Amino acid sequence: MGAACYDGSQFRRRQCTAPAEREQPPLTERSQSVSDPIPTVQDTDVVLIIPPMAKACEPLLGVATLKSFLEHKGVSCACIDANVEAQHWLLQAERIDAAVEAILANPQAPAPLRKRARSWPSLRPGLESLKDALRAKRTYTDESRYRTTVTGLNRAMALGAAGHDAQDGCPITLTLSNYEDARFCDMASASVLLAAQDPARNAFYGYFKDVLLPRVVALRPKVVGLSFIFRSQLLCGAVLAGMIKQALPETHVTLGGELVSAWVEDMGQTRLPHLADSIIPYEGELGLLGLVEALRQGGGDEAFEAVPNIIWEDAAGTLRKNATQKLHDLGLLPPPDYSWAPWDLYFAPERTAPMVTARGCYWNRCTFCPEVINPETLLRLARVDRLVQDMDTLHERWGITHFHFIDSALPPRTLKGVARYIAEHNKPYTWYGFSRLERALEKPGAAELLARGGCRMLKLGLETGSQRLLDLMDKKQDLGSVSAILNALRDAGIMVHAFLMFGTPFETHKDAELTRQFVAQHHSAIQFINCSLMNLAHGSPMAVEPEKHGINKVTPFEVEGHKLDLALYSNFEGEGWGRVEARRFLHKRFLRDPLVRPLHLRTPTVFDSNHSAFFHPMVFGARRTPRAAAQ
């Protein structure tokens, strides 16, 4: 289904200016209080770090899987969720006090920002209550209370970041899900490198220098790996990579994750290799294991040539890309290790463990998805008996009862198998994830089984209410079947978070109207909607053969003064009515429909589908819990 195609985080087209030179404080300087714990010095093979900035709802599965795999192989591994820790660090009243003071002292600060800063005294007394509320189940039974909570925390976060470099015009824009700096462009690797070379300008510099680095230094790692999943992590992660390399010059710093994997084919044309000693795209298990072994052998070109899945620079300065190796059997992976997760810091009312039922997408045909023709795509499905065994293990070790399946599309057989195990064994588990609108969900009793088996919500790639467009996208979804599935899920007490895409190449006003009518007709069966305007994903079938898919012209994104070598999407002109008209329709017609608008307003602001699964009691009450259904 290509969930990554819904990533709407793009650099806002503001003027980016190169920062002036400034003297950097020494990284050994500390300003921690005497009450801060002193890190225990120990030798660690690998330290994995999740850099800010991303939604802090749950730990990262990739890091948990790598830790489990490496330690199973005798490689010591420590994990740090610097994303949630950095947000916790910033959201302190005293720190925001200082930021507000800096904003108000700067006559060049934008007037709207100064106005928000003057309102800080009214927000300050309730800051801790807001954080507690976002972690309380009762907040998710009231749309208004939830919206007020998120809005308040967003305001506090924005003030804390904007005041960090107030003397430079307050260039940093920070939310609970995104990080932008008007001085740097995160679609241009040269600009990202500039950000890394000027770390003190980053809003989280104090956390990196005073809190995170002392811990990393004390672990004395051979390897530090930074995991990049979202573009919103890039500027902060680049800064962190540079600071670690300066503090630990003998430590090997490597970058990994889905985001850097997207740039593999053009990596040599970017400045990204200058940020670290190596890059491990795609799957990290065998690459990290081989990297540790190479360093144990003393490193050097001969040792690094044997490391799979790695991009590195040899002694002659040539960028090399080693052959890819993959785990062909997911059963070889031990259960994810979440022992490092700071559960109390996540903005969620329940401990949520991400899991995956497969690597690769079993459908892998949607024309807008870049994974369809990726030569690295290799589908491997996990056995249901192994999946539920891992769920039991996570429940026994950390009390986890809520699971987020992060697959691009959950196979129907897996959906039913997991649900059947939970129902038959009376497990207290609930879960949600992405699913295709397969006819298997339409069969009598299928939705009821999922509900008895703990399914709270399915994220469904509806895309459009036009059968013509669905066929052109190769979705193989029949709207009659879709209608039956939506009604069945509603009757079973399963929520639907529908993903819709406007502005596709062939779309016309008639197609968009069909989408509005379809969603309005099914407003009682759809609880949440995620609406996006299509950008042309690099590497997708649409991008590779644009004429075949109704695209007349492809235009790269442009930002004055920057070479956008990290852009993942392009603008385009199609045979349909175009993005401008689609955007106008979306905001003026679709979202104003009296039956559609409530779905839009109910959809969690900022956190979107990461939080919508928690609204089940508000939508359906206490019905369909696994225990109640089994009794």
Out of 275, 302, 321, a domain closes at: 321
Residue 352, beta-bridge partner list:
402
Domain count, the chain: 2
Judge whether 100 lies within some domain.
yes
Identify the band that residue 18 occupies on the pLDDT scale cut at 50, 70 and 90.
Answer: very low
> Each residue of 219-278: pLDDT tens digit?
999 999 999 999 999 999 999 999 999 999 999 999 999 999 999 989 999 999 999 999
CB-CB contact of 355 with 429 (8 Å): no
Same domain, 455 and 576: yes
> Each residue of 525-575: pLDDT tens digit?
999 999 999 999 999 999 999 999 999 999 999 999 999 999 999 999 999
Judge whether 18 lies within some domain.
no
pLDDT of residue 256: 96
Choose among 530, 485, 514: nearest CA to 589: 514
Same domain, 274 and 388: no
Judge whether 22 lies within some domain.
no
Q: What angle do CA 82, 234, 181 make, to 5 degrees?
A: 100
The C-alpha atoms of residue 216 and residue 226 are separated, in whole angstroms, by 12
The C-alpha atoms of residue 424 and residue 416 are separated, in whole angstroms, by 12
Same domain, 576 and 621: yes
Question: Which residue range(s) make up the domain with 75?
Answer: 3-13+45-321
CATH of the domain at 386: 3.80.30.20
The C-alpha atoms of residue 319 and residue 263 are separated, in whole angstroms, by 14
Judge whether 399 lies within some domain.
yes
The C-alpha atoms of residue 383 and residue 331 are separated, in whole angstroms, by 7
Judge whether 338 lies within some domain.
no
Q: Is the dihedral of CA 36, 38, 40, 45 positive or negative?
A: positive
Same domain, 451 and 501: yes
The C-alpha atoms of residue 332 and residue 16 are separated, in whole angstroms, by 47
Out of 305, 321, 337, a domain closes at: 321
With a CB cutoff of 8 Å and minimum separation 6, the contacts of 198 are 19, 22, 24
> Each residue of 475-513: pLDDT tens digit?
999 999 999 999 999 999 999 999 999 999 999 999 999
> Each residue of 349-359: pLDDT tens digit?
999 999 999 99
Beta strand residue intervals within 305-393, DSSP E: 311-313, 319-321, 352-355, 358-359, 380-381
Judge whether 607 lies within some domain.
yes
Identify the band that residue 375 occupies on the pLDDT scale cut at 50, 70 and 90.
Answer: low
The C-alpha atoms of residue 206 and residue 199 are separated, in whole angstroms, by 10
With a CB cutoff of 8 Å and minimum separation 6, the contacts of 127 are 91, 93, 96, 152, 156
Same domain, 254 and 376: no
Neighbours of 170 (CB within 10 A): 25
Helix H or strand E encompassing 262:
none
Same domain, 472 and 590: yes
pTM of the predicted model as reported, rounded to 2 decimal places: 0.92
Task: Give the pair of three-digit tokens for residue 552.
Answer: 């007349």
Same domain, 221 and 155: yes
Judge whether 342 lies within some domain.
no
pLDDT of residue 35: 38
Judge whether 347 lies within some domain.
no
Choose among 255, 219, 220: nearest CA to 238: 255
- Kindly report the average pLDDT of the chain as a whole number: 91
pLDDT of residue 117: 96
CA dist 507 → 97, 303, 465, 570, 585 (Å): 49, 53, 11, 18, 12
pLDDT of residue 623: 57
Same domain, 356 and 288: no
Least confident stretch, 184-188, 205-209, 364-368, 428-432: 364-368
Same domain, 85 and 127: yes
Same domain, 541 and 614: yes
Same domain, 289 and 181: yes
Out of 306, 321, 336, a domain closes at: 321
Same domain, 537 and 442: yes
> What percent of the chain lies above the pLDDT cut of 70?
92
pLDDT of residue 373: 65
Distance spanning both ends of the chain, measured CA to CA = 36
> Each residue of 169-188: pLDDT tens digit?
889 999 999 999 999 999 99
pLDDT of residue 371: 82
